[in-house]
Amino acid sequence: MVFLCLFSHCKNTPKKTETVNIEVENEPKGENNVAYQWAYVALEATANDTDMFKPRPTITSRFLGLIFTSMFDAWSRYDDKAIPVYLKNVDRCPTNKQTLKNKEIAISYAAYGALKEYYFSDSLMFSNKMKALGLDPNNTSLDPQTPEGIGNLAAKMVIESRKNDGSNQYGAVEGSNGKPYFDYTGYRPVNDPDTNVDINKWQPKYFSDGKGGRFAPGCLTPYWQKVKPLLLKSSDQFRPGPPPLVGSEQLEEEIAEVVELQANLTPENKALVEFMRDGPKSVQQAGHWLKFAQDVSRRDKNTLDDDVKMYFLVESVAMDAFIACWDSKMFYDFARPYALVHKYFEDKDIKAWGGPEVGMTTLKGQFWRPYSPDVFLCPPFPSYVSGHSTISGGCAEALKLFTGNDFFGEEVTLIPGALTEPDNLEDPVVLKFPTFTETGEMAGISRVMGGYHIQADNIEGLELGRKVARYNYKKYLNLIGNDANAQ
């Protein structure tokens, strides 16, 4: 596998406007602070979860959202003003106990408890991290007078508060027969993989099983709009208007744009599609933006306090944005370009990507496909709005609001084709991400270039994500006791 990912660490970049209470001169910063270290562990666990269960971005966004809520709640008891989300009836610690050491212990036990619950397969990795930090993974104290007890209580309260939140994590919803994440809404697509009876509706597609056979995956978590948001009022709070339908001039133009973009993919375009699609060790969109947040932490030399708050804000937006996105997806049940291109360009010769063994070629419109490997041709759920656009638009906005500046300044070096056509690699390219906003928009347009979405999916998704972020940011300011600055 040839895959280079080298992030720059920019100097002299704008600092966040928020006042930071630095407790000691030599407080660990950036990758050295304990919150950053637990975020790194969470990303490793997310990647392992993807390997084990295949991509399930809705589910992993909830895991990350709740892990960082646990850490935030534990930290809040060592801050002068912060309010916990779920950790109730635990008093704020007196000023003389609001030490860096106590914060480190409390958020470590909170992270450990939540990680064990949501990424249970990696419990050994988590306990080893605790030992590396000099902490006892077997300490289960719930004494609120100790940092260990506060951390354990924070994780416990988050876990208990979210057990019946609609995610069906435990298979306890009626009709699930004990099967976790079973669809209790009874969703059935209008179309099947072989017959498209309503072109405006989503059609499942066949994937290669990698062994010479094929299968059509069902819709991923088609009930996710029923999951209780973390900070939003409801999943449909910012539901966008309907997508353009077959027969409209807008849809005709946007489908033609998808075909045109694919026919003219540059090496940089291919690299962008692959980078935002996320390949080996995938951490899904919520994890991808957690990585970007860690870039900010290193760049700005964040303290533990900074990172606890930043990760909580970003992952709350990712979690709620997925819930809001699924509300739109399942409400409109809209078709993807994979089927729409076949309809609009049937029996027409077009320049298109013919697959890893073929490359760019001329083919009939009904044989068009996204720029993806055979084993994962297209996301298995309705199109409108784009998940990448919603989560990226939202998390980009969250980072801009948190830092007080849109500047990002990162870059990544990639080999185009590494994840899609490994026998047809091109020279390395450098993708630059100058601002958070542009990075979010690059993620969104990559999904149109890749053939997974039309522009309506992208544009409305970006706007939906930004609305979630702005709303959650106001809630976040209230939680840190700083709502006077709400925008």
Q: Residue 128: which residues within 8 A CB-CB, separation 6 or more? A: none
Read off the pLDDT of residues 76-98 as tens digits, 9 standing for 90 and up.
999 999 999 999 999 999 999 99
User: Read out DSSP for 17-47?
Assistant: SS-----STT---GGGSHHHHHHHHHHHHHH
Task: Specify whether the CB–CB gap between 225 and 187 falls below 8 A.
Answer: no
Tens of pLDDT along 28-45?
999 999 999 999 999 999
What DSSP string describes 236-300? TTT---PPPPTT-HHHHHHHHHHHHHHHT--HHHHHHHHHHH--TT--HHHHHHHHHHHHHHHHH
pLDDT at position 458: 98
Point out the least confidently predicted range of 87-96, 155-164, 417-426: 417-426
Q: Tell me the per-residue pLDDT of 125-144, one tens digit each, with 9 for 90 and over.
A: 999 999 999 999 999 999 99
DSSP assignment of 446-477: HHHHTTS--HHHHHHHHHHHHHHHHHHHHHHH
- For residue 179, what pLDDT band results from cuts at 50, 70 and 90? very high
- Residue 483 is predicted with a pLDDT of 67
10 pLDDT higher than 90: no
Q: What is the pLDDT of residue 279?
A: 62
Where does the pLDDT of residue 396 fall: very low under 50, low under 70, confident under 90, or very high at 90 and above?
very high
Q: Give residue-wise pLDDT tens across range 446-469.
A: 999 999 999 999 999 999 999 999
pLDDT bracket for residue 209 (50, 70, 90): confident
pLDDT of residue 6: 37
8 has a pLDDT exceeding 80: no
- State the distance between the two ends of the chain, measured CA to CA, in whole angstroms: 46
**How far apart (Å, rounded) are the C-alpha atoms in residues 30 and 301?**
4
- Nearest Cα neighbor of 370 from 330, 340, 348 is 340
- Is the model's pLDDT at 221 over the cut of 80? yes
Q: From CA 15, how far away is CA 375, in angstroms rounded?
A: 43
Q: Which domains does the chain have, with CATH numbers?
A: 30-167+188-485 (1.10.606.20)
What pLDDT score does 280 carry? Answer: 57
Write the single-letter amino acid at 112.
Answer: Y
Q: What is the pLDDT of residues 337-391, one digit of tens each?
A: 999 999 999 999 999 999 998 999 999 999 999 999 988 889 999 999 999 999 9
Specify the pLDDT at position 17.
Answer: 41
What average pLDDT score do residues 249-265 get? Answer: 98
Q: Is the pLDDT of residue 61 over 60?
A: yes
Query: With bands split at pLDDT 50, 70 and 90, how would you rate the model's confidence at 57?
Result: very high
Please compute the mean of the pLDDT values over residues 234-256 and round it to a whole number: 98
